[in-house]
Amino acid sequence: MDEDLIKAAKAGNERAGAFMISLYGPKLLGYCRTIAPDLGDVDRELICEQAVETACRKIDDYDPGKSRLHAWLRGFVRNGVRAWRRGPASQVSPLLVDPGAGSLPPITKTGPVQSDLRVGQLAAAVRALPPHHQLLIALRFTEDLPTYEIASRLGISDAAVRQRLSRLIRQLRTQVEGQGDLGVA
């Protein structure tokens, strides 16, 4: 199904848009509500509208070997919400925000020169975690789920999720700092 959708979008098929929304519209809106429950319906719809437009523009960048189409599309919604939260002054065009290419603003809080090295170290540290810990990190930091949502989906307590995440974050920080003594804030 995804393959047909991608082919249709790449071919410029006039029904590709409707096809995509039939498959993913409810899921993207639902996801947007989950990560941005404080926004109104109109704002969430606008974010999703921009997300699907950007995704269709960038459909050539989608790599099925790296993620499911649904996950890729969620990235555009997520970036839309992040841009929204940064405020009107920093609401860049979603065209410039590509979830797969790391095009969000560079990390500058502790020094842009060191950021690439630290980010690589962080990725390595996450990869070394047991899968069930990776899962928590993915849900919290990649999917942007609030801790109570993670707790609800896993059927465990919010306190347990917070506690585990806190421990994992501390562990990751220690590893990144330990490798480079870079003073992660």
By CB under 8 A, tell whether 37 contacts other proteins.
Answer: yes
Nearest alpha carbon to residue 124 among 62, 180, 64, 61: 180
Tell me if 86 sits within 8 A of 101, measured CB to CB: no
Query: Which CB sits closer to other proteins, 89 or 105?
Result: 105
Q: What is the rounded CA–CA span in Å between residue 73 and residue 59?
A: 10
Supply φ then ψ for residue 175, to 5 degrees: -70, -40
By CB under 8 A, tell whether 175 contacts other proteins.
Answer: yes
43, two tokens: 């704002």
Instruction: Give the x-and-dash track for 74-113 against other proteins (CB under 8 A).
Output: x-------x------------xx--xxxx-xxxx-xx---
Chain mean position to CA 31: 11
Binding residue (CB under 8 A) for other proteins from 40, 89, 127, 181: 127
Sign of the C-alpha dihedral computed for residues 171, 172, 176 and 181 taken in this order:
negative
Q: How far is the CB of 44 from other proteins (least distance, A)?
A: 9
Query: Which CB sits closer to other proteins, 82 or 84?
Result: 82
By CB under 8 A, tell whether 57 contacts other proteins.
Answer: yes
Binding residue (CB under 8 A) for other proteins from 7, 33, 85, 86: 33
Binding residue (CB under 8 A) for other proteins from 3, 38, 88, 181: 38
